[in-house]
Amino acid sequence: MGRTLKLALLCPVLLGASCMTTGVMAATPCTFNPPLPPTTQTKCLTAIHIPGNPLRSFDISFVNPGARAGGQRFGQYYFADRSNAGIQVININSLKWERTLGGFVGIKLNPDGTVNNNISGPDGVAAHGRWVYGGDGDSTLKVFSLSAPNASALKQTISTGGTTRVDEMALTADGTLLLAANNAEDPPFATLFEANGDDPNSHVTKIIKITIDPSIIPPNAGLSIEQPSWDPTTKRFLTSIPVIANNPAGCNFDPSKGPVTCDGGLLVTDPTKPKAVEGNFDPATNTGVVKLKACGPNGSTVGPNDNVLLGCNPANNPSNVISLVINATTKAQTPVIHITGADEVWYNRGDNRYYLAASRDCAIPGTPCPNASQQKAVLGVVDAATNLLIEKIPQSSGSHSVATDTFRNLIFVPQVAPVSVVGAGGDTTNVGAGICDSNSGCVAVYIHKTSGGRLLADTK
| Residue ranges covered by each domain of the chain | 4-453
| Cα angle: 324, vertex 301, 175; to 5 degrees | 160
Residue 34 preceded by cis peptide, ω within 30: yes
- pTM (2 d.p.): 0.92
DSSP state letters, 92-144: TTTTEEEEEEE---B--B-TTS-B-TTT-B---EEEETTEEEEE-TTSEEEEE
| Cα angle: 131, vertex 137, 142; to 5 degrees | 20
- Residue 72: the pLDDT is 66
- 404: β partners: 411
| Distance of alpha carbon 6 from alpha carbon 23, whole angstroms | 7
- Residue 22: the pLDDT is 29
> Phi and psi (nearest 5°) for 236?
-130, 150
Which homologous superfamily is 4-453 in?
Answer: YVTN repeat-like/Quinoprotein amine dehydrogenase (2.130.10.10)
Tell which residue, 274, 323, 281, has the closest CA to residue 301: 323
- Residue 29: the pLDDT is 62
User: One digit per residue, pLDDT tens: the chain, 460 residues?
Assistant: 333 333 333 433 333 333 333 233 334 569 999 999 999 999 999 999 999 999 999 999 999 987 766 666 679 999 999 999 999 999 999 999 999 999 999 999 999 999 999 999 999 999 999 999 999 999 999 999 999 999 999 999 999 999 999 999 999 999 999 999 999 999 999 999 999 999 999 999 999 999 999 999 999 999 999 999 999 999 999 999 999 999 999 999 999 999 999 999 999 999 999 999 999 999 999 999 999 999 999 999 999 999 999 999 999 999 999 999 999 999 999 999 999 999 999 999 999 999 999 999 998 989 998 787 889 999 999 999 999 999 999 999 999 999 999 999 999 999 999 999 999 999 999 999 999 999 999 999 999 975 544 444 333 2
- Residue 460: the pLDDT is 29
Q: Are 293 and 264 in contact (CB under 8 A)?
A: no
| Distance of alpha carbon 336 from alpha carbon 389, whole angstroms | 7
- Residue 70: the pLDDT is 63
| Cα angle: 420, vertex 341, 310; to 5 degrees | 140
| Distance of alpha carbon 217 from alpha carbon 215, whole angstroms | 6
Residue 119's Cβ-count burial label (10 Å; 0-12, 13-18, 19+) is: buried
Q: Are 298 and 283 in contact (CB under 8 A)?
A: no
